[in-house]
Amino acid sequence: MRTVHVSAASKEYDVLIGIDAVRSLGAEAKKLCPKALKALVVSETNVAPLYLDTVNDQLEGAGFEVTDYVFGAGEQNKNITEIAGMWNKMAEAGFTRTDIVIGLGGGVTTDMAGFAASTFLRGISVIQIPTSLLAMVDASVGGKTGIDIPMGKNQVGAFWQPTLVLEDISFLRTLPDDVFTEGMGEVTKHAFIMDLDLFDKLEKANGSIRVDEELLEEIVYMNVSDKASVVGEDENDNGRRQTLNFGHTVGHVIERDSGFTKPHGICVAKGMGIIMDACVRAGTLSAEDAEKMKDLLRLYKLPVSDEITPEVIVEGAMNDKKKRGDTLSVILVNKIGSAEIKKMTKEEFLEFLSV
């Protein structure tokens, strides 16, 4: 088992990563939350049939009284109705401030379990058990929690760091191939913005990291370490954490433009490719590095471009919730493993994408 320690300003916690890591859930939960008597396990209809019993057995074995809340899988259920369902379930079961929530699922589940925990009785502990690659390397680490509203994704939420994140690599065995590929969008992003070693490892693995679980564990560990280091420096997303948005400003527009039919990780990969091309034209990135990064995306079956026009990107980006005032923070990669935040006006961004 590998451990990444996250030192966020508001809270310190560990991310435990390993094949069969779930076997330490009971003991860890008891150790970290000694006063907790009850646990609410939040999961969804794809993941619960696979792993809920294992998780419940662990918690019951450690003496917890376990209640579960299983919602319909999918982003369309990442809403306030389901959160209210979780609050009610905890209230009915007599949860107190020392009891805990467990999130078991992909990023939709960990975002919602975290948000329910952050709001119930003004905040109780949450232990995250991410089951998708994306949730392991990104969503479950760093404390961003939330839900969607009709006007936009992730528009309501809270920063609420977990007490523990337990990443069982064996859970990835059942993840559908296309969902795994999507997670690779964020994995390659970490390599591009900050981790040359990860880039080399992914390149050497030649597109196949699923078959070798020890390699997969190491890759997940490298990604979690990257995310932890960024969150440790800038928990509230006012500085360096914004570099994690590489590819996202453009990617979000493509995603929204498709009516959310194109998956997030795929849109991010397209966004990264589009920004790389613009950086090469602007002379801030070598054509050679851009080609190497695009080759890595292709190696992991990710796209590197899209038909979308610069005008549509800019219009969409100006409506993004991440925008602050009249300028956009655009993330650029100057060479493999190194990113920069550049403030651009609408006109500057259009010129950057068009020239």
- Residues of the shown chain interacting with ligand NAD in the complex, contacts defined by CB under 6 A: 44, 46-47, 50, 73-75, 78, 105-109, 111, 131-132, 134-135, 138-139, 142, 144, 153-154, 171, 174-175, 179, 182
**328-338 CB burial, b ≥16 within 10 A, e <16:** bbbbbbebbbb
CA distance 195 to 192: 6
| Complex with ligand NAD: residue 36 or 116, whichever CB lies closer | 116
CA distance 29 to 342: 42
- At closest approach, how far in Å is the CB of 135 from ligand NAD? 4
| Complex with ligand NAD: residue 52 or 308, whichever CB lies closer | 52
- At closest approach, how far in Å is the CB of 78 from ligand NAD? 6
Return all residues near 92 (Cβ < 8 A) that are at least 6 apart.
none
- At closest approach, how far in Å is the CB of 335 from ligand NAD? 25
| Complex with ligand NAD: residue 138 or 289, whichever CB lies closer | 138
| Complex with ligand NAD: residue 108 or 224, whichever CB lies closer | 108
Residue type present at position 264: H
**27-59 CB burial, b ≥16 within 10 A, e <16:** ebbeeebeebebbbbbbbebbbeebbebbbebb
- At closest approach, how far in Å is the CB of 150 from ligand NAD? 15
| Complex with ligand NAD: residue 75 or 315, whichever CB lies closer | 75
- At closest approach, how far in Å is the CB of 255 from ligand NAD? 10
Cα–Cα separations (whole angstroms), residue 163 to 140, 313, 338: 11, 38, 30
